């Protein structure tokens, strides 16, 4: 008999970013972070454990995955096997409705969905906090895709106290994240490698020691729904992370000419009185944060800008959830 479960999770956009680890293996971050869980984009993952399998198998977007991608998932499943006492190998099938590895935090939704599906299929019934810790070990930002709405990941010092929780539900504030796709090419340096380079930048210490100031400003801006305050701190935090990236050794440049063009356009719009700001993760794409009432007009304007491939409309969403589970493995999720 096999056990299977299917779970869904959304990516998230960090308003205060995570870059660099205290513990690389457990992904204990150097600083806390704050994000918004993004409804509209999702990853759906099925995990089925079979007694007769000899190794784990992974399929992403219909394609079988081998090498480092499979090993990363296998290492993650090893943890689940250890905790559950279930030694069976698994078949993992994952599907996202957005491009992977391009700075749209696909690893966040992927490892959040995998955490819930794998732990459930292995017979564990984890609390939100336990799931957030487990997801963190797969990809740091995945810890923030377990809870919904506006989410804070407390850095902590060890596995037990490093997890994310919701600071306000999705209905708290009608923000929209217009994800401006400039390129869907996979990035040259993934974030796992990038985090390791963070301490080589002389700016990283300053970024980390200033983190509680930025977290406090961002948390208050969210709780008070103060867009102007949010815009200021979100843009400063993104620039600080990219300053660290650009000054590490070797340096990481995720921005493209169109990325910079977008930053400047958004700044101009805000100067004219529109509540809008931008933030960028480890890729060239730009997240344009605005209020729901302006999102349709802004999307049209964004699509008219040269080099913009696409714009996804996303809004504050719920946490990871279970779609189905089965003890025969026959019923599909
Ligand atoms: O979770 P990772 O290892 O993919 O790191 C994500 C890092 C950033 O997206 C650049 C920032 C963040 O806090 O999400």
CATH no. for residue 129?
3.30.230.10
* Total-model pTM: 0.96
Tell me, yes or no, whether 252 and 306 share the same domain: yes
Tell me, yes or no, whether 125 and 204 share the same domain: no
**Looking at the domain assignment, is residue 269 inside a domain?**
yes
Tell me, yes or no, whether 133 and 12 share the same domain: yes
C-alpha to C-alpha distances, 165 to 70, 83, 149, 211, 329, nearest whole angstrom: 29, 22, 9, 18, 32
Under the banding of pLDDT at 50, 70 and 90, the label for residue 190 is confident
C-alpha to C-alpha distances, 68 to 26, 28, 73, 184, nearest whole angstrom: 18, 21, 9, 20
**Which ligand 1 atom minimizes the distance to the CA of 140?**
1
Residues recorded for the chain: 333
At which of 171, 197, 229 does a domain end?
171
Radius of gyration, CA atoms only, the chain: 19
Compute the distance from residue 176 Cα to the ligand 1 centre, in Å.
Answer: 20
> Average pLDDT of the chain?
94
**6 close to ligand 1 (CB < 6 Angstrom):** no
Tell me, yes or no, whether 126 and 190 share the same domain: no
Quote the domain boundaries for residue 28.
3-171
Count of structural domains, the chain: 2
Is the pLDDT score of 328 beyond 80?
no
Q: Whose CA is nearest to atom 8 of ligand 1?
A: 281
Compute the distance from residue 191 Cα to the ligand 1 centre, in Å.
Answer: 6
For the chain, helix, strand, coil in percent to 5 are: 40, 25, 35
What integer pLDDT is reported at residue 105 of this predicted model?
A: 63
Tell me, yes or no, whether 259 and 164 share the same domain: no
154 or 307, which is more confident = 154
Percent of the chain with pLDDT over 90: 89
**254 close to ligand 1 (CB < 6 Angstrom):** no
Tell me, yes or no, whether 53 and 131 share the same domain: yes
Compute the distance from residue 19 Cα to the ligand 1 centre, in Å.
Answer: 7
**Looking at the domain assignment, is residue 328 inside a domain?**
no
Tell which residue, 59, 32, 265, has the closest CA to residue 144.
32
The CATH number covering residue 211 comes to 3.30.70.890
Decide: 48 and 6 in contact? Cβ < 8 Å.
no
**36 close to ligand 1 (CB < 6 Angstrom):** no
Compute the distance from residue 281 Cα to the ligand 1 centre, in Å.
Answer: 7
Decide: 7 and 320 in contact? Cβ < 8 Å.
yes
**37 close to ligand 1 (CB < 6 Angstrom):** no
Tell me, yes or no, whether 177 and 140 share the same domain: no
Tell me, yes or no, whether 67 and 152 share the same domain: yes
**Which ligand 1 atom minimizes the distance to the CA of 241?**
10
Tell which residue, 319, 326, 316, has the closest CA to residue 128.
319
- In what order do the strands lie in the sheet containing 63-65? 63-65, 57-60, 89-96, 43-50, 3-9, 321-326
Q: Mean of the pLDDT values across residues 313-327? A: 95
* Longest distance between any two alpha carbons in the chain, whole Å: 64
**Looking at the domain assignment, is residue 124 inside a domain?**
yes
């Amino acid at each position: 008999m096999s056990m299977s479960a299917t779970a869904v999770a959304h990516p998230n956009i960090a308003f205060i970013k995570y870059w660099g680890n205290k513990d690389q293996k457990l992904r204990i971050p150097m600083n806390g972070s704050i994000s918004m869980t993004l409804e509209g984009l999702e990853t759906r993952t099925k995990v089925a454990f079979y007694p007769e399998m000899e190794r784990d198998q992974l399929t992403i977007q219909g394609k079988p995955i081998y090498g480092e991608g499979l090993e990363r998932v296998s290492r993650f499943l090893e943890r689940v096997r250890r905790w559950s006492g279930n030694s069976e190998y698994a078949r993992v099938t994952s599907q996202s409705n957005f491009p992977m590895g391009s700075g749209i935090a696909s690893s966040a939704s992927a490892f959040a969905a995998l955490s819930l599906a794998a732990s459930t299929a292995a017979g564990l019934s984890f609390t939100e906090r336990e799931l957030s810790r487990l997801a963190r070990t797969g990809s740091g930002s995945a810890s923030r895709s377990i809870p919904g709405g506006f989410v804070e990941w407390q850095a902590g010092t060890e596995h037990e106290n490093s997890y994310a929780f919701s600071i306000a539900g999705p209905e708290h504030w009608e923000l929209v994240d217009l994800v401006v796709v400039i390129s869907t090419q996979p990035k040259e340096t993934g974030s796992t490698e990038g985090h390791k380079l963070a301490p080589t930048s002389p700016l990283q210490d300053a970024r980390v020691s200033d983190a509680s100031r930025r977290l406090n400003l961002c948390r208050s801006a969210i709780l008070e729904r103060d867009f102007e305050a949010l815009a200021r701190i979100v843009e400063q935090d993104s620039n600080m992370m990219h300053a660290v990236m650009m000054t590490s050794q070797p340096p990481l440049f995720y921005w493209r000419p169109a990325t910079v063009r977008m930053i400047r356009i958004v700044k101009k719009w805000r100067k004219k009185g529109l509540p809008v700001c931008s933030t960028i993760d480890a890729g060239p794409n730009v997240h344009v944060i605005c209020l729901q009432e302006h999102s349709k007009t802004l999307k049209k304007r964004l699509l008219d800008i040269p080099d913009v491939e696409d714009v996804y409309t996303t809004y504050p969403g719920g946490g990871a959830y279970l779609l189905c589970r089965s003890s025969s493995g026959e019923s599909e999720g």
